[in-house]
Structure 1
Amino acid sequence: MAAPARTLSPALLATLWGAAGLLALAGAWQWGAAAFGPFVLPSLAETGEAVVRLVTTGKAGPALLATLVHALAGCVAGGAAGFFLGVAGGLVLPVGAMSYPVFTALLGTPPIAWVVLALLWFGPGGAAATFTVAITVAPILFIATLQGVRSRDRALAEMAQLYRAPALMRFTDLVLPALADFLIPAVATALAFSFKVAVMAEVLSGADGVGGGIATARSHFDLPETMAWIVLAIAALILADALLLAPLRRRRAGRGHPAPVSVEA
């Protein structure tokens, strides 16, 4: 008699495949360390020891908190500006037509250029990192929001206007559902860019945070500590994504009622 089939939820399968990807990355890292030597890539053990040292000496906590503040504050400020201008541009044609080339130009400007300008405008410190994150994130959210609003069902919008549905109801029932499929990937991209840009700006501006730790380790030619700071920054990004975006993705996926995957015992 055949054993009964077991079912794995898509969320669990995604977690397992994600863990497999990280294990593959760790294996490639260790191979690179063995092939090229510690002056090119430190081993996992050396990097792990550096991570433990940074955590136990109390250096990691304040640095991670500073980077989180720079990344999330800039992401929220730039994301909010891009979102509201994207909604306005999607609903009002002249606003969208005027704003799109401006945000396209902003999107094409290298973040390093914004870091240099921010240093001239704000001086060294956290303000430069926060500003650079905001100006980098805003175009991502603007373009996604603009496309999402423009993709709404025009017939339903005309019907709602014909029956004089309140403006707030039209926005929540017609515009927001059309935005969800565009915004969730855009916010995930913006969050990842926020951490990368914040760390880069911290390295160049001398601000506190993970970037400041990387700059110090670089000046000491301490490659394991440099890699340890990178690992800590990635861990903070994964944690932020799991806490802030994973619930939204699960809620969105739950509306589609994906079928569980069957695995024979």
Structure 2
Amino acid sequence: MPLIFTVVVILSTWTTATFYFGAGLVPSPLETLRYLAGMTMTSAMWEHTLITLSRGVLAIVLSLAVALVLGVWAGLSRTIMSLGTPLVTVLQATPPILWITLLMVWVGAGNTVPIVVVMAALFPPLFLNVAQSVAALDQRLFASARVYRVGRMRILMQLILPGIFPHVLAGLTYALGSGWKIAAVAEFLGSSKGIGAQIYWAYRLFNMPELFAWALILVGLGVGLEFTLVRTLRRKAEGGAGRA
């Protein structure tokens, strides 16, 4: 029922906007779907969609890997935590548009801009999540491990990673929900390929049916990820946090 209500509200608002502004500015849902159906018959649509998704996935994986390494290090060392947190806070406060502008000047349009912009946006919360989770682990467990001379790798694999797993899942949930959207924004100005770049060119050419079709694809990807992977990870994270 909530899903049906949401669809009805969106279609009603969309149709009203078409009548009010005209089909030249706001193409009707039916016209947009027809245009989208035509796009699905071309390889370009699938290519640009895959490019955006692959950039988002790569940036998420790299961000999580770096955040895990540095976050565990910071969580185990008060010195690293005190030195690193202000730097990460500055990085977190830096708006993506600044990174897009600088990278466009330094390296030009291409894969680098969206990937680096997504990493710059996702790394700070992932790092802080991991570092704070490690710091919150029961210190008596580490003391016992030292008494019994447990190796560092064993401590990492059997104590630290299982202990922070629910929090890492929660951070990954946020990254999956945000990464591909940030990638599309970066592509709008910083790339010649991808969904964001196609939205930009549709805007420049005033091709409103194409613009709305790409917008539908972007929203559809978000809804699809939310109702499949993101919600599954969220439930696992909440379940793990509850058991912890």
Q: Give the TM-score category using the shorter length.
A: 0.7 to 0.9
> In proportion to residue count, which structure has more helix?
2
Tell me how far apart the structure 2 counterparts of residues 253 and 196 of structure 1 sit (CA, whole Å): 24
Counterpart contact for 2:166–2:240, Cα < 8 Å? no
- Equivalent in the alignment of 1:99: 84
Q: Is the 8 A contact 1:78 1:136 kept in 2?
A: no
Residue equivalent to 1:222: 207
Amino acid aligned to 1:177: P
In the TM superposition, residue 249 of structure 1 has moved relative to its aligned partner by 5.1
Letter in 2 for 1:133: V
After superposition, what is the alpha-carbon deviation per residue over 1:154-192, rounded to whole angstroms, capped at 9, x for unaligned?
222222222222222222222112212221121121222
1:24 has 2:5 as partner:
yes
Indicate which of 136, 147, 170 corresponds to 1:185: 170
**Deviations 1:208-239 (Å, cap 9, x if unpaired)?**
01012101211232333222212212333455
Deviation at 1:67, TM superposition (A): 0.8
> In the alignment, which of 23, 40, 55 is matched to residue 40 of structure 2?
55
Shift of 1:68: 1.5
Deviates more, 1:50-59 or 1:240-249: 240-249
Name 1:172's counterpart in structure 2: 157
CA distance in 1, matches of 2:74, 2:32: 47
Cα separation, 2, equivalents of 1:161 and 1:75: 34
SS of match in other structure, 2:137:
coil
Query: Could you say which residue in structure 1 is the equivalent of 2:130?
Result: 145
Structure 2 Cα separation of the partners of residues 124 and 244 of structure 1:
30
Residue in 2 aligned with 1:8?
Answer: none
1:89 to 71, 74, 88: 74
- State the number of aligned residues: 239
Alignment of structure 1 residues 107-118 onto 2, 5 Å = 107-118=92-103
Task: Quickly say closer, same or farther: Cα 1:252–1:185, change in 2 above 3 A.
Answer: closer
2:206 is paired with a residue whose SS is: coil
Q: Which runs of 5+ in 2 are unaligned?
A: none
Report if the CA contact (8 A) 2:202-2:210 is conserved. Answer: yes
Q: Which runs of 5+ in 1 are unaligned?
A: 1-19, 259-265
User: Structure 2: how far apart are the matches of 1:35 and 1:239?
Assistant: 26
State the identity as a percent: 27
The 3 A distance-change label for structure 1 pair 21 and 220 is farther
Q: What is the root-mean-square deviation in Å for CA atoms of aligned residues?
A: 2.6
Cα 1:23–1:144, aligned 2, differ >3 Å: closer, same or farther? Answer: farther
Q: 1:160 to 1:142 in 2, by over 3 A?
A: same
1:133-162 CA distance string (max 9 Å, x none): 111111121011011111211222222222
Counterpart among 35, 39, 59 of residue 16 in structure 2: 35
The question of whether the paired residues in 1 share the 8 Å contact of 2:169 and 2:237 is answered with no
| 1:201-216 aligned within 5 A | 201-216=186-201
Structure 1-normalised TM-score? 0.79
Tell me how far apart the structure 2 counterparts of residues 125 and 248 of structure 1 sit (CA, whole Å): 31
Q: In 2, Cα distance between the equivalents of 1:256 and 1:107?
A: 25
Residue 21 of structure 1 deviates from its aligned partner by 4.7
Alpha-carbon offset, residue 49 of structure 1: 2.0
* Residue aligning to 1:11: none
Cα gap change, 1:177/1:245 in structure 2, threshold over 3 Å: closer, same or farther? Answer: farther
Aligned partners of 2:79, 2:241: CA distance in 1, in Å? Answer: 35
